[in-house]
Amino acid sequence: MRKIWCMKNSILDREETTYKHMYDIFFTSKKKAIAEAKDIIKYLDCDTSEVRDTDGSVTITPTNSMSRYIWITSKELN
């Protein structure tokens, strides 16, 4: 079995105060997924990222705002 990593990128809708799902990206390694998420926050939000790695999933948010929420999970492929 192979493991893939799915990165879900959501952005804050300030009118409804909820996160709106934007898109998914799939990676072959967790390290690549985290690096891409950090780059997204660095270039689109002009901010540094805060990474929380807990029990198989990773959440990444901008340090100085809550404008974006990135969630990385793993999936097994047959």
User: pLDDT tens digits for 12-64?
Assistant: 888 888 888 899 999 999 999 999 999 999 998 899 999 999 888 999 999 99
- Measured CA to CA in angstroms, residue 17 lies from 20, 46, 56, 70 at distances of 9, 21, 27, 16
Nearest to 50 by CA among 76, 25, 31, 70: 70
pLDDT mean across residues, the chain: 91
Record the pTM: 0.86
pLDDT grade, residue 1 (50/70/90)? confident
Per-residue model confidence as pLDDT tens digits over 66-77: 889 999 999 888
**CB proximity list for 12: less than 8 A, separation 6 or greater:** 18, 19, 20, 66, 67, 68, 69
The three-class DSSP label of residue 67 is coil
